[in-house]
């Protein structure tokens, strides 16, 4: 692979349940330094794995930014409905690490639309409800908000169970713009929509469509992050077991360190 992308080895500071987005975090660390966005909007944040990856990548690359997370933080029929503790924990993490650069907009995607002028957003990550109607609606509503650099990520392009319909929308929209789809981690679609998306990103899309070495590379990196996530989950769960003998806790900690 002559033009193999350079992937930073940063480990994410935020790895929480649910796990569905974690395998795409290495791609975020690759994309952000090239796109150098000024405004990122995420539609669907839940516990913040994807959102805080954007925040971390911009911070580590010294990119002055506003990252907006839009979510009701109540859940939906696909993500499940969850408790207030999820929002409170996201808020705590934001205040601890990204007080000035991150903004949490607790409202529906439709309500948030009027906050953003046309052509003002460089990167939109769409990860809300996954029916065909919902993703089409979210995409079409937010399309006019994209800047000349406008790039869109769409999650769950590979899930075909129940009434998930992102895969179907992806088959349509991916033909309209330069696009690439990662098949791992439930599927992540990348669309270069603006008329001035950086050449390096267009080049990546072109090369990645020609050779699966690119998707393999990000899949491998994604699996490393996933293993890290699993380790963390195990450590947290061990702490919750009240009567586990100290010797076993010590052994488990040694194994996980």
Interacting residues with ligand SAM (CB under 6 A): 18, 20-21, 44-47, 49-50, 70-72, 74-76, 79, 108-109, 127-129
Nearer to ligand SAM, 76 or 207 (CB): 76
CB of 207 to ligand SAM, least distance (A): 26
Widest CA span in the chain: 61
CA distance 233 to 246: 19
In the chain, which ranges are E strands? Answer: 39-43, 66-71, 75-76, 80-81, 102-106, 121-126, 146-155, 179-182, 188-192
* C-alpha distance across the termini of the chain, in Å: 34
Q: Is residue 156 within 8 Å of residue 195, measured between CB atoms?
A: no
CA distance 40 to 238: 36
CA distance 54 to 65: 10
Angle 6-143-170 (CA atoms, 0-180°, nearest 5)? Answer: 65
CB of 89 to ligand SAM, least distance (A): 13
Nearer to ligand SAM, 46 or 149 (CB): 46
CB of 18 to ligand SAM, least distance (A): 6
Nearer to ligand SAM, 44 or 189 (CB): 44
* Closest residue by beta carbon to ligand SAM: 44
3-state secondary structure of 68: strand
Q: Where are the alpha helices (DSSP H) in 129-245?
A: 132-142, 166-173, 199-210, 213-240
CB of 71 to ligand SAM, least distance (A): 4
CA distance 104 to 101: 10
CB of 121 to ligand SAM, least distance (A): 16
Nearer to ligand SAM, 144 or 178 (CB): 144
Nearer to ligand SAM, 111 or 206 (CB): 111
CB of 153 to ligand SAM, least distance (A): 10
Nearer to ligand SAM, 124 or 129 (CB): 129
């Amino acid at each position: 692979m002559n033009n193999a992308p350079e992937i930073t080895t940063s480990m994410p500071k935020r790895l929480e349940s649910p796990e569905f987005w974690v395998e795409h975090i290495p791609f975020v660390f690759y994309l952000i330094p090239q796109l150098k966005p000024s405004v990122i909007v995420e539609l669907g944040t839940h516990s913040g794995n994807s959102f805080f990856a954007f925040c971390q990548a911009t911070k580590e690359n010294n990119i002055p930014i506003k990252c907006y997370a839009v979510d009701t933080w109540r859940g939906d029929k696909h993500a499940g409905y969850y408790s207030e503790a999820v929002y409170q924990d996201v808020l705590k993490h934001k205040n601890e690490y990204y007080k000035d650069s991150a903004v949490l907009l607790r409202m529906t995607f439709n309500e948030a639309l009027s906050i953003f002028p046309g052509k003002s957003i460089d990167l939109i990550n769409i990860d809300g409800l996954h029916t065909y109607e919902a993703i089409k609606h979210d995409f079409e509503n937010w399309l006019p908000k994209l800047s000349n650099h406008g790039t869109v990520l769409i999650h769950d392009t590979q899930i075909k169970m129940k009434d998930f319909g992102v895969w179907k929308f992806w088959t349509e929209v991916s033909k309209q713009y330069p696009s690439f789809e990662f098949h791992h981690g439930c599927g992540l679609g990348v669309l270069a929509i603006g008329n001035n998306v950086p050449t390096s990103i267009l080049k990546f899309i072109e090369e990645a469509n020609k050779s699966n070495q690119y998707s393999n590379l990000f899949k491998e990196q994604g699996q490393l992050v996933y293993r890290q996530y699993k380790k963390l989950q195990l450590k947290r769960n061990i702490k919750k077991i009240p009567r586990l003998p100290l010797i076993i806790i010590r052994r488990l900690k040694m194994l996980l360190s």
